[in-house]
Structure 1
Amino acid sequence: MEDFPEKSVILIEEDTGLAKSIYAQYIAAGAASAGKHVFYVTARDAENIRSQMTRLRILPATGFHIEEMHGTDPDALLDLLTSHSKGDLVIVDAFPFYFLDIPLAGFRDAISRLIAVAKTGRIFLLLIDRGILPQRHEVLLRAMADGVIQITTVTEGDKVKRYLNIPKMQGAQLLEKMLPFTITDEGFLIDTRERHG
């Protein structure tokens, strides 16, 4: 989390899957252990997330709150996100779920509202599966976000490899490569070794 720009809205996206959620949960655990207050909003079952974080041995003892929100009303989500004062880091797992039927102008206004709240001292992580929102909505979200982290899954023979790509991050020098990573019992491990030959 220390690498994220302060007062920002960061998009974490992948084609489909749970790697983005696990990545965000590791970020949440690190932030909570550093004394930050983390507010995790999800359309998923909160107990499943707690169980998953317990299996990964990353469930924080303090500073971490999960809120289930199953309705798809974007105004209700925005009211919750913008009025909750305890979240230094706010994670929205399955962000597109709440904006499926909103027109582009309304979507732009919603993102602008989050950006305005972020500028008061919070970081928002918005998790999305690519292709759920209309293409113009996704392009607008990438353009308005302060940072974009992409998780890509590639099949190579009989193996599945996952990569982290950061095409946009305000105030950071961008990497010229995608970083391979694995998720094991030891954690979310990014392979930063240089390969030669």
Structure 2
Amino acid sequence: MDRPRVEVISTANEELDNRLGGGIPIPSLLLIEGDHGTGKSVFVQQIAYGALKEGLKVFYVTTESTVREFILQTKRVSIDISRYFLKGLLNIYPVHIEGAKWAKTTAKYLLHIVGRYMQRTVDQWDVFILDSFSVLAVYATKSIVLDFLTLAKNIVSQGKVIILVIHPSALPEEIMIRARSICDGYIKLRAFEIGGRIIKAMEIVKLRGALGPVDNMIAFDVDPAFGIKILPLSVARS
């Protein structure tokens, strides 16, 4: 089945798209970095939702939830992807398997295995998401991580989008520098408290291929009834 040709992936959130210069460019290797509680997973799920609405096929590797938990999480923030999962447009791959033992000797090969699978199935997906890349790479050798980044960059050149979600300081700084430099897009997420209210923000460090102007900083909140809700920076700073 031929999939639609699009230049950018809409996030299905018009205001967020406008702040991102139209959406996530295709092709693109995108690195999303942030601590726990900064909205990384919701942001990536929003991108996945937008891609699915465009008719694109998404492979989603999650290290934090089961398939059922993942679908329920998206429903809680009004980006329900269950119908796309049932249609086969969305494939969810949980890394944590019941009964499996987590050992460093086997965990260090996970990233290599995922990379080879990503390469073998390249004709079956348009967007490949690793949430989180840091969990898959934490025990991998430096050469495995760098080989994966090179492989991902080469695959992206075929008109694909690969999104890597990472926690700050999870990997050696030498590897982090390499990852940030090789990626076409690099977005840092953080959370801060103002007047007793937790505000989240995206810093768009770079986003090559954007169709229009890109805001350097986007303040937002996660609204269960709406998903990602963009906040005026004047409100965030007040």
TM-score, with length taken from structure 1:
0.90
3-state DSSP of counterpart to 1:152: strand
Question: What letter corresponds to residue 55 of structure 1 in structure 2?
Answer: R
- Quote the Cα distance in structure 1 between the aligned partners of 2:94 and 2:38: 17
Provide structure 2 residue ranges, at least 5 long, that are not aligned to the other structure.
Answer: 1-8, 11-22, 97-105
Other-structure match for 1:148: 186
Equivalent residues in 2 for 1:5-154, closer than 5 Å: 5-17=25-37, 19-44=39-64, 45-60=66-81, 61-62=83-84, 63-70=89-96, 72=107, 73-84=110-121, 85-154=123-192
2:219 aligns with one of 171, 180, 183: 180
Instruction: Identify the range of structure 1 (12-21 vs 138-147) with the bigger mean alpha-carbon deviation.
Output: 12-21
Contact kept in structure 1, 2:112 and 2:144, CA below 8 Å = no
Other-structure match for 2:230: 190
Contact kept in structure 2, 1:40 and 1:67, CA below 8 Å = yes
Residue identity (%): 25
Question: What letter corresponds to residue 135 of structure 1 in structure 2?
Answer: E
Question: What letter corresponds to residue 73 of structure 2 in structure 1?
Answer: Q
Q: Which has more helix, going by share of residues? A: 2
Provide structure 1 residue ranges, at least 5 long, that are not aligned to the other structure.
Answer: none
Contact kept in structure 2, 1:16 and 1:130, CA below 8 Å = no
The Cα of 1:174 is off from its aligned counterpart by: 4.2
- Quote the Cα distance in structure 2 between the aligned partners of 1:43 and 1:80: 16
- Quote the Cα distance in structure 2 between the aligned partners of 1:55 and 1:4: 24
Contact kept in structure 1, 2:218 and 2:233, CA below 8 Å = no
Contact kept in structure 2, 1:104 and 1:136, CA below 8 Å = no
TM-score, with length taken from structure 2:
0.75
Equivalent pairs counted in the alignment come to 196
Contact kept in structure 1, 2:119 and 2:155, CA below 8 Å = yes
